[in-house]
Amino acid sequence: MCIAAWIWQAHPIYQLLLLQNRDEFHDRPTKPLGWWSDGKTSILGGRDGIAGGTWMGCTRNGRVAFITNVLEPDFIPNSKSRGDLPVRFLESLKTPIEFAEELAKEEEEYNGYNLVLADVCSKIMVYVSNRPKSEPVCVQVVSPGLHVLTNARLDTPWHKAQLLGESLKEMLRSNGDKEIAAKEMVEKLMGNRVKAEKDRLPNTGCDSDWEHKLSSIFVETDTKLGVYGTRSTGVLAVKTDGEVCFYEKYLKEGVWKEHSVQYHLNV
């Protein structure tokens, strides 16, 4: 399901500082962080080994995209893979707003999603969601500041969203204008397994027991289909001088590993 938190255009060092947990079945084939391309554009990110998409990726020219699923009881069979959406944007020449408006015409082709598109060089970030079904597709320019995205609309105050947002805000405050190590952020912020009280669960229409199992920042639960939960954490840091560092801690064959890639924006 995933959870992400970030600060955008509101920090003395970082143009963007983004953290995301990816939740998925542990046995789903996945490629860890690395450069890959199906065309002219090289994309940096992890990659789904079945559908070929990504949950979080970036490019050398400053484009960034990440996605979370919407928690809902209904599932559209034979729908298009939501992981294709970040890839399509990263490979596109359209602005975030242009791309979002294009997606608005395809709302019924995908299960529920929350998608964030950014062009760091032009300082534009856009949020797109095709849920609720009863409403038009949401296309919203993301304001500078700190934001959290779970499996509902942007900045919806779910328990784990509030917990992660407050923890990130405090870490940024206590470090002032100093850099923060990606590994430190992952260890202190993204591994929290505290679940919400039953009376603070969201009313998504899903089974309340399932909602409870997904209510922590770090998720791990047994299901009939196998272990489901957090299997990677990414930290993307884009500094004001154009230096980029993408760190990933990921699960491979039952063992946690880590890897990072650094580059400089082409502007």
Into how many domains does the chain fold? Answer: 1
Report the CATH number at residue 214. Answer: 3.60.60.10
| pLDDT exceeds 90 at position 189 | yes
Q: Tell me the two tokens of residue 114.
A: 């929350």
Q: Which residue has the higher pLDDT, 203 or 246?
A: 246
Mean pLDDT of the chain: 96
Q: Is 192 exposed, middle or buried (0-12, 13-18, 19+ CB in 10 A)?
A: middle
- In the prediction, which pLDDT does 1 show? 76
Residue 19 C-alpha from the chain's centroid? 7
Neighbours of 234 (CB within 10 A): 26
**pLDDT exceeding 70 applies to what percent of the chain?**
100
Q: Which residue has the higher pLDDT, 40 or 254?
A: 254
Sequence-ordered alpha helix ranges (H) in the chain: 84-91, 96-103, 159-175, 182-185, 208-213
Domain encompassing residue 215: 3-264
Please report which confidence band the pLDDT of residue 94 belongs to, taking 50, 70 and 90 as the band edges. Answer: very high
- pTM of the model as a whole: 0.96
Residue 47's closest CA among 21, 86, 78?
Answer: 86
Strand-pairing partners, residue 64, are 58, 118
